[in-house]
Amino acid sequence: MKEKILVVDDEEGIRLLYKEELVDEGYDVSLASSGEEALERLEEEVFNLVLLDIKMTGMDGIEVLRRIKEKWKGLPVVLCTAYHHYKQDFGTWASDAYVVKSSDLSELKNTVKDVLSRSKEG
Shortest distance (Å) from residue 34 CB to Mg ion: 10
* Cα angle for residues 61, 16, 89 (degrees, 5° grid): 20
Quick one: which of 15, 49, 53, 61 contacts Mg ion (CB under 5 A)? Answer: 53
Quick one: which of 55, 67, 69, 109 contacts Mg ion (CB under 5 A)? Answer: 55
3-state secondary structure of 67: helix
Stretch that binds Mg ion, among 2-10, 24-32, 69-77, 110-118 (CB under 5 A): 2-10
Stretch that binds Mg ion, among 5-13, 44-52, 71-79, 104-112 (CB under 5 A): 5-13
Spatial contact of 78 and 116, defined as CB atoms under 8 Å apart: no
**10: amino acid identity, one letter:** D
Spatial contact of 101 and 80, defined as CB atoms under 8 Å apart: yes
Shortest distance (Å) from residue 117 CB to Mg ion: 27
99 sits near Mg ion (criterion: CB under 5 A): no
DSSP-derived letter for residue 84 is G
Where along the sequence are the contacts to Mg ion (CB under 5 A)?
10, 53, 55-56
